[in-house]
Structure 1
């Protein structure tokens, strides 16, 4: 995976500021655009689209300083107008192209990324592979923004809005792995852009032929393998660390990749104030 990510970076540089079709690049490297985007954002700390934009504006800065016609520069880097180019330029460098042309700066260049293998995994992640037939996730869903660190207040608000009896009702419907009340994230932006919207479902897993009550939302889940990580400790910090470690340690070391589908958190045990918890983190996967 490290080699694949570095090849992607090379393709971005070869594009000279043009458009990069991630799905085409991924297919040529023997993986999928979905998995490549997810791994890039997890390891680089930014979506690949953001990295492309930053590199594009880094290279464009030299053309601006050289005094070339601004519309010509804008079109070269994929913008239809000087105004659109100017907004992108300022968002990266914190200064207008006029200021940079006049003063030579300030500039905030984006260095070329290089992914390197470091010695990790001194303590193995506890994981197991499970093959599951088609099933459904049912419950109460809401659209919420993605937040990378800490408790998501929008999810908290959604759960708090449900009456107490709704939780017991859902738990009684649970009929398969993962068991119990679940935290489901679906329709997640493959770039994992913070602030992008996802579907959060507070619910349970049921068999594919389960008759779903009309007042509940549902997500149909295709048959296939899943990787399940167990994590224990401070909540949600330990769980978020497991998300990160899956990208930095487990996926690069194992012949599996992510496939489209929801991620699921099952809380197996927790402190009364939810300050600590033992959880399972489920990801849909396929052979790499």
Structure 2
């Protein structure tokens, strides 16, 4: 599959240039991808950003040099892109748990972050149900917070945010503002303001316009006119929702003719109550080679 070799070419480019300043645009070019899409796919497939991968690989190689050579730590820090010994020591200790000087001592355990090799498992035992839809601009409003895709943090923090909004009355007030009973269900969970470089994003529990008045504790978000890839989730269990997200990144995108568009993503809910509903994942897309 071309996408596997393209992704591997991009990783090889990173590895060949770890001692140089690395351009994300040039990395993405090796994968024949837009920079935004490549960064999103890299995070979805690996669980960390390109920047974090580069940082960990450099610190792994630096640790190997420190442990087997007498080269000055300041020189090694400079070699791997750190302007000061202090910055290098801070980053080194965060990854390895010890300072560079301690790492020189015999018997000290250090962490090794291996070079990535892209592999794929083709099961084909379960279909991914989706459709492509054009939709004009619309607005949503609701309560949002900041989270992160690194190491699956968002999958833990988003359910916690829902429980928090239910316990503090925000959820009920949101439903009431659109004329729904407190036992009802909101229209969507919206993921927006993605920052592919550090993995951060914002998540909103949202209802769709129109409303006559938006309470002051809620934010308004405009969704642009987009092409959407819409995926059906077979149940309302969190595990099934997370599995569909995983398969979108690892199976659907690599085999499709589409890339991520830089726009909000939605989980849309349909049903009568918070215990009786179905879910769809809406991904904004553009055709490859745009």
Shorter-chain TM-score bucket reads: 0.7 to 0.9
Is 1:170 equivalent to 2:178 in the alignment?
Answer: yes
Match of 2:261 among 259, 262, 275: 259
1:287 Cα shift?
A: 0.6
Partner of 2:160: 153
Q: Does 1:285 align with 2:285?
A: yes
Q: Counterpart of 1:87?
A: 90
CA RMSD after TM alignment: 2.7
1:112-145 CA deviation, whole Å, 9 max, x = no partner?
Answer: 11112321332111111111122222x2232232
Shift in alpha-carbon separation, 1:3–1:159, aligned structure 2, 3 A: farther
Which residue matches 2:122?
Answer: 119
Distance in 1 (alpha carbons) for counterparts of 2:195 and 2:277: 27
- The answer (yes or no) to whether the contact 1:11–1:20 under 8 Å persists in 2 is no
1:159 shift after superposition? 4.7
Counterpart for residue 176 of structure 1: none
Aligned residue number for residue 51 of structure 1: 53
SS in 2 for 1:218: strand
Report matched runs for 1:126-205 at 5 Å.
126-137=129-140, 139-146=141-148, 147-150=153-156, 152-160=159-167, 161-162=169-170, 164-170=172-178, 181-190=187-196, 193=199, 196=200, 198-205=201-208
Equivalent residue of 1:152, what SS? helix
**1:167-214 CA deviation, whole Å, 9 max, x = no partner?**
143367xxxxxx961111211332574xx4x3332223348xx98757
Which consecutive segments of 4 or more residues in structure 1 shift more than 6 A?
Answer: none
* Residue 267 to residue 213, structure 1, CA distance change in 2 (3 Å): closer
Contact 1:184 1:203 in 2 (8 A): yes
In the other structure, the counterpart of 1:236 is: 238
Unmatched segments (≥5 aa) in structure 1: 173-178
**What is the CA distance between 1:90 and its match in structure 2?**
2.1
1:130-169, Cα deviation, whole Å (9 max, x unpaired): 11122222x2232232334345313432354326353143
Task: Map Cα deviations across residues 256-282 of structure 1 (whole Å, 9 max, x no partner).
Answer: 11111111111224876x4x8521011
Deviation at 1:74, TM superposition (A): 1.0
CA distance in 1, matches of 2:198, 2:272: 27
Maintained 8 Å contact 1:171/1:180: no
**In the TM superposition, what is the alpha-carbon distance from 1:220 to its structure 2 partner?**
1.9
Judged with a 3 Å threshold, the aligned counterparts in structure 2 of structure 1 residues 213 and 99 are, in CA distance, closer, same or farther, namely: closer
Query: Taking structure 1 as reference, are residues 211 and 12 closer, same or farther at Cα in structure 2, changes over 3 Å only?
Result: farther
CA distance in 2, matches of 1:234, 1:223: 27
* 1:16 and 2:18 are equivalent in the alignment: yes
Compared CA separation, residues 154 and 202, structure 1 to 2 (3 A): closer
Give secondary structure in 1 for the equivalent of 2:105.
helix
Does the 8 Å contact 1:184/1:202 carry over to 2? yes
User: Does the 8 A contact of 2:13 with 2:30 survive in 1?
Assistant: no
Contact 1:227 1:284 in 2 (8 A): yes
Tell me if the contact between 2:42 and 2:49 (Cα under 8 Å) persists in the aligned partners.
Answer: yes
TM-score, normalised with respect to structure 1: 0.84
Q: TM-score, normalised by structure 2?
A: 0.83
